[in-house]
Amino acid sequence: MEAFTTHTGRAVPLRRGNVDTDQIIPAHWLKKVTRNGFEDGLFEAWRKDPSFVLNAPEYKGATVLVAGPDFGTGSSREHAVWALQNYGFKAVISSRYADIFRGNSLKNGLLTVVLPQETVEALWKLVEADPTTEVTVDLVAREVRAEGVTAPFELDDNARWRLLEGLDDISLTLGNEADIAAYEARRPSYKPSTVQV
Amino acid sequence: MGRTLAEKVWDDHVVRRAEGEPDLLFIDLHLLHEVTSPQAFDGLRMNGRVVRRTDLTIATEDHNTPTLDIDKPIADPVSRTQLETLRKNCAEFGVRLHPLGDIEQGVVHVVGPQLGLTQPGTTVVCGDSHTSTHGAFGALAFGIGTSQVEHVLATQTLPMAPFRTMAVTVDGELPDGVTAKDLILAVIARIGTGGGQGYVIEYRGTAIEKLSMEARMTVCNMSIEAGARAGMIAPDRTTFDYLEGRVHAPTGEDWDAAVAYWKTLRTDEDAVFDHEVRIDAAELAPFVTWGTNPGQGAPLSASVPDPASFADPSDRLAAEKALEYMGLSAGQPLREVAVDTVFVGSCTNGRIEDLRAAASVVEGRKVADGVRMLVVPGSVRVALQAVEEGLDQVFTAAGAEWRHAGCSMCLGMNPDQLAPGERSASTSNRNFEGRQGKGGRTHLVSPQVAAATAVAGRLASPADLSDVPAPAEV
Ligand code: SF4
């Protein structure tokens, strides 16, 4: 995984709540067997509408997505995270995320920051008034900064450390091989097995 | 202090617990399908890793599979590649696979329970959010992303952040014609699509205890639509009876030991939930959605709500956008909403009981002119059982299409899709914009309401069918 320390970039205001992963990347894109090439599928249906915010030339090249509450609900598709990253987003800001989406994002190095809705609102106003506004998402200081906004955010130490170091979860877990083997040895025999009978 | 059911199952699976780290949990059963696994297998290959426990892993094909002409090569080359990739990966890594055409093929969440693989007190994961279905057995079952699929393949464990517990207690008697689907839609409308975030929900109370295993699966299936990590129901006699004799259920001494353990899987009297919701079963009614998220629902007897009636500004905005997308106007009675498609199937309502319920409504009646009704069994086993009972005949005689097992129109990854502007009554679980096809409009309903809607041509419950020709006397 790519490490995340701090990022500064322009931001897109997505004034919508409950953005589900079917909107982020529609199902027909899920037939691909790679982790890349999803950028054109990002918000595909909405992008057909010329007035959709991502189509506005002033937000081209923005790398921070500021979204409404309950971002990433619905399907567990990690493709939603890949699509956001493939398109160029490094961080998402929202007041609330669906659990699976949040987990997926942090495993891929897409930083999902939780800020109160008032701060989201303030950021929306800021980047709507001036699309060239830069927003800094600083994981080291656990802080989001923009003109007139300094907002601390929380992320548990373990998740933060993995992101800062760009650590691969699987290698970390395999470091605990002895614990896994010990658990397996004491597992009851009545537990199900998929071996064909 | 006592522990809840979810906490007991969690504690029994902790491989490693260390200060400042998430618990590392052992995974008893890992279900795979074609959509969320290819990148995970790629990851294993790239790092020279193997599947640690092929004996706890099983795969089937469901999301992409066609429901017609299954003996012919799949027309869509991209879908075909994805299925071929799964076959190649399973062969290479030694994973058991039930491909299209196999007798055990079907929607992954229908297949696990019917094989007896889903058991009380187990941890079950799958790269699919509706893994919550398996919680109906008292399993801790949750959907995971592809990175986690890879993690489980390689280690048979997952580091998991702690959860909070919520009790949804439904006491009393469900009125006639009210089903598990109506119950869960009402729960979601009550707590909202984000209401369950961070929680494992335990459904309890006398109305839940009376539900069949299939109805319990319907309830737990849609926990994710309330944002919950998982849904669970304590195992009881109904659970044990369902499992006994299934291919992968324990036998002999193992069965006795298993049942003895399973009986301990109840929330202790003195356990405390972080949040509690109470619902009186007697107040429930057939429920349908009017909007574009599963929380936007109302009783069938109600009207489309006025967005202005929502106190919360973001709910109001969401309702406005939803009505625009759905082509509905405030105040329109839901019973007057005409549909052109009816879909009976999915991991929510594609089991044999669901098909029986829908068949009993259309029996001796006709699907309304201009309405297309698709019946898609959840698995090949369900399909065979339905054929044995003659349900396929009932459906085709009524003018419905009887299809092959798979996810089908639940998400429209295969050719079964709504055209732009088409409107469906669907027994699936998501009414998101475009979920069943670009521009398609979805109303989530129970199998009974779906069937009655097919006959009436507009949203209806079986009780509303008195004005259409009654079934012929037999
Ligand atoms: S039936 Fe629908 S919800 Fe269930 S697994 Fe298939 S696509 Fe997902």
Interface ipTM = 0.93
Residue B182, classified by CB atoms within 10 Å of its CB into exposed (0-12), middle (13-18) or buried (19+), is buried
B444 lines ligand 1 (CB under 6 A): no
Residues of chain A neighbouring B413 (CB-CB closer than 8 A)? 27-28, 30-31
Q: Is A183 on the interface with B (CB under 8 A)?
A: yes
Ligand 1: distance of its center to the CA of B110 in Å? 10
Residues B284, B459: Cα–Cα separation, whole Å: 17
Q: Describe the strand order of the beta sheet including B96-98 as a list of residue ranges.
A: B96-98, B57-60, B29-32, B123-126, B140-143
Q: Do A78 and B229 touch (CB under 8 A)?
A: no
- Structural domains in chain A plus CATH codes: 6-185 (3.20.19.10)
Residues of chain B neighbouring A194 (CB-CB closer than 8 A)? 29, 54-58, 96, 117, 248
Residues of chain A neighbouring B63 (CB-CB closer than 8 A)? 27, 30
Q: Is B175 on the interface with A (CB under 8 A)?
A: no
8 A C-beta contact, residue B423 and residue B441: yes
Q: What is the mean pLDDT of residues A111-129?
A: 97
Identify the pLDDT of residue B38.
Answer: 96
Each residue's pLDDT tens digit, A25-49: 999 999 999 999 999 999 999 999 9
Per residue of chain B (474 residues), give pLDDT as tens: 899 999 999 999 999 999 989 999 999 999 999 999 999 999 999 999 999 999 999 999 999 898 998 888 888 888 899 999 999 999 999 999 999 999 999 999 999 999 999 999 999 999 999 999 999 999 999 999 999 999 999 999 999 989 999 999 999 999 999 999 999 999 999 999 999 999 999 999 999 999 999 999 999 999 999 999 999 999 999 999 999 999 999 999 999 999 999 999 999 999 999 999 999 999 999 999 999 999 999 999 999 999 999 998 888 999 999 999 999 999 999 999 999 999 999 999 999 999 999 999 999 999 999 999 999 999 999 999 999 999 999 999 999 999 999 999 999 888 899 999 999 999 999 999 999 999 999 999 999 999 999 999 999 999 999 755 554 443
Residue of A27, A157, A193 lying closest to B413 (CB–CB): A27
Ligand 1: distance of its center to the CA of B407 in Å? 5
Residues A121, A129: Cα–Cα separation, whole Å: 12
Q: Do A192 and B435 touch (CB under 8 A)?
A: no
8 A C-beta contact, residue B102 and residue B119: no
Average per-residue pLDDT for chain A: 96
Identify the pLDDT of residue B468.
Answer: 55
Q: Do B21 and A158 touch (CB under 8 A)?
A: yes
Angle, CA B168 vertex, CA B164 and CA B169 arms, to 5°: 140
Residues of chain B neighbouring A30 (CB-CB closer than 8 A)? 35-36, 63, 413
Percent of chain A with pLDDT over 90: 96
Ligand 1: distance of its center to the CA of B410 in Å? 6
φ/ψ of residue A82, rounded to 5: -60, -40
Identify the pLDDT of residue B474.
Answer: 39
Closest residue in chain B to residue A156, using alpha carbons only? B20
B414 lines ligand 1 (CB under 6 A): no
Q: Which two three-digit tokens encode residue B160? A: 């998991």
pLDDT value at A193 more than 70: yes
- Structural domains in chain B plus CATH codes: 5-275 (3.30.499.10), 289-467 (3.30.499.10)
Give the CB-side neighbour count of residue B252, counting CA atoms within 13 A.
2
8 A C-beta contact, residue B364 and residue B471: yes
Closest residue in chain A to residue B151, using alpha carbons only? A170
Question: Which residues have C-beta within 8 Å of that of residue B313, sequence separation ≥ 6?
Answer: none
Give contacts of B 204-243 with A, CB under 8 A.
224, 227, 229
Residues B237, B204: Cα–Cα separation, whole Å: 15
Identify the pLDDT of residue B137.
Answer: 98
8 A C-beta contact, residue B127 and residue B34: no
Give the count of beta carbons closer than 10 Å to the beta carbon of residue A3: 12
Cα→Cα distances B18→A176, B15, B23, B278, Å: 11, 10, 7, 36
Ligand 1: distance of its center to the CA of B15 in Å? 31
Angle, CA B418 vertex, CA B379 and CA B183 arms, to 5°: 60
Residues B440, B452: Cα–Cα separation, whole Å: 21
Query: Which ligand 1 atom minimizes the distance to the CA of B345?
Result: 1
- Please, what's the largest Cα pairwise distance for chain A? 66
Angle, CA B41 vertex, CA A184 and CA B38 arms, to 5°: 130
Residue of A20, A35, A196 lying closest to B39 (CB–CB): A35
Identify the pLDDT of residue B313.
Answer: 86
Judged by average pLDDT, the poorest of A58-67, A93-102, A172-181, B67-76 is B67-76
Residues of chain A neighbouring B151 (CB-CB closer than 8 A)? 169-170, 173
8 A C-beta contact, residue A153 and residue A143: yes
Residue B126, annotated ligand binder?
Answer: no
Q: Which two three-digit tokens encode residue A170? A: 């699987």
Residues B432, B110: Cα–Cα separation, whole Å: 23
Give contacts of A 96-155 with B, CB under 8 A.
96, 98-100, 103-104, 107-108
Report how many Cβ contacts below 8 Å link chain A to chain B: 203
Instruction: Kindly report the nearest CA distance between residue A87 and chain B, in angstroms.
Output: 19
Residue of B28, B155, B413 lying closest to A191 (CB–CB): B28
8 A C-beta contact, residue A4 and residue A64: no
B379 lines ligand 1 (CB under 6 A): no
Residue of A33, A99, A179 lying closest to B229 (CB–CB): A99
Residue of B146, B257, B413 lying closest to A28 (CB–CB): B413
Question: Which of B34, B35, B130 should we substitute to test contact with A (largest number of A Cβ atoms within 10 Å)?
Answer: B35
Residues of chain B neighbouring A18 (CB-CB closer than 8 A)? 193-194, 293, 318
Residues B342, B370: Cα–Cα separation, whole Å: 11
SS3 A159: helix
Residues A161, A138: Cα–Cα separation, whole Å: 13
